[in-house]
Amino acid sequence: MGAEPQGLAECLARRGGSVCGAPAPELVAVAGAVRFDQVARDLSQVNGGMWHYRSAGLSWVNGSQRWYCCHEGALPTLFEARAVCGALGLVPGWSLGSCATALLRYVGPGDCAPWTPRPLRLGCPWAYLRCRPGTCDDATLYDVTAYYYSLARRLPCLRAYPGLDGCLRWGGWQKGEEGRWRAVIDAVGPAKGLRNALVGCAVGSPAGRPCYFRGALRRVKLPPGPFGTAFLLVVRSGAELTWRAARESEALWAHTDAVLCPRGNAPAAWGAAGLEVRAVARGEAEVCSLTVYRCGLKCTRWYKAGSRVQVPEPEPAVPLVWWHRQWL
């Protein structure tokens, strides 16, 4: 629990927002079109501690105190995540990250061996990206339903040991661990925000996540959570499958779990791996960059705003090791 920071109301008013409720002593809900990075910067100048922000909220860590602020539209997702934790007897903080971390710790202590993601980085990015600017008279946009979650459900064990020799080895379950994992993975299925947070907290952030301290922007490295290597294997395998899906369908555009390809060139790699693939949009397509594209009636907000700057994405090299083939 933490006390409300100084200057909150004034800062929100200056940024076009206002406090619309306090569902808990350490949580404040905000209304209005507020940029939480600006709010975090302003409040960090008059309050101590670290101010971590996201598009839908922020958290303040000041010693042992924790305080949270989120947009009113994010409250249903947050309450849903808290309900999942509560059903398992857990009482996390008021953020999706706190809920996900509590669930991972509930499953077990995690890997006994030192965390070493280096073998999983061999010759392949964490997320496959492709962009070939141009137009197509008839195209289809495909994506995978609950991509990382669906792959995580397929893990035979949560202790994965990829070696520099390209071989994947597995550990075993500790007492009661498998049952707790099945309970967690089943419980988070309907909660999309919590599903994504579970993977993010397990993987961590070696590159660092942004936060403000005394008005200065910093990047704080977040160590992986329990079973981090297994979840890194999930993310890496997802990149490999999308690489194959984009190549075989001659996609104009691809990003993590979606591909935009000419009609008739449906990606088969995802379906062969047992994943649920859906057609999101069909019709005439125009691709300008990773964030600016249109397919049929679906388009990004930047495309709708009129941006047409063409920025191709370099094609990544062929992976040296295909990890997904060793367990999917």
- Domain range for 21 is 8-94
Domain count along the chain: 2
Determine, yes or no, domain membership for 144: yes
One domain for residues 231 and 313: yes
If you write DSSP's letter for every residue of 130-195 in order, what string do you get? EE--EEEEEEEEEEETTHHHHHHTT-S-S-EEE-TTS-EEE--PPTTHHHHHHHHHHHTTT-HHHH
Could you list the beta-strand ranges (E) of 25-162. Answer: 27-31, 50-54, 57-62, 65-71, 129-131, 134-144, 160-162
Could you tell me which of 101, 44, 105 has the C-alpha nearest to residue 69?
Answer: 44
One domain for residues 88 and 122: no
Determine, yes or no, domain membership for 299: yes
The number of helix segments (H) and strand segments (E) in the chain equals 10, 16
Question: 3-state DSSP call for residue 13?
Answer: helix
Determine, yes or no, domain membership for 279: yes
Q: Which residues pair with 193 in a beta bridge?
A: none
pLDDT digits (tens, 9 = 90+) for 241-275: 999 999 999 999 999 999 999 988 889 999 999 99
Name the percent of the chain lying above pLDDT 90: 71
pLDDT digits (tens, 9 = 90+) for 53-108: 998 899 999 988 899 999 999 999 999 999 999 999 999 999 999 999 999 999 99
Q: What is the pTM of this model?
A: 0.90
Strand 27-31 to 18-24 pairing: antiparallel
One domain for residues 59 and 139: no
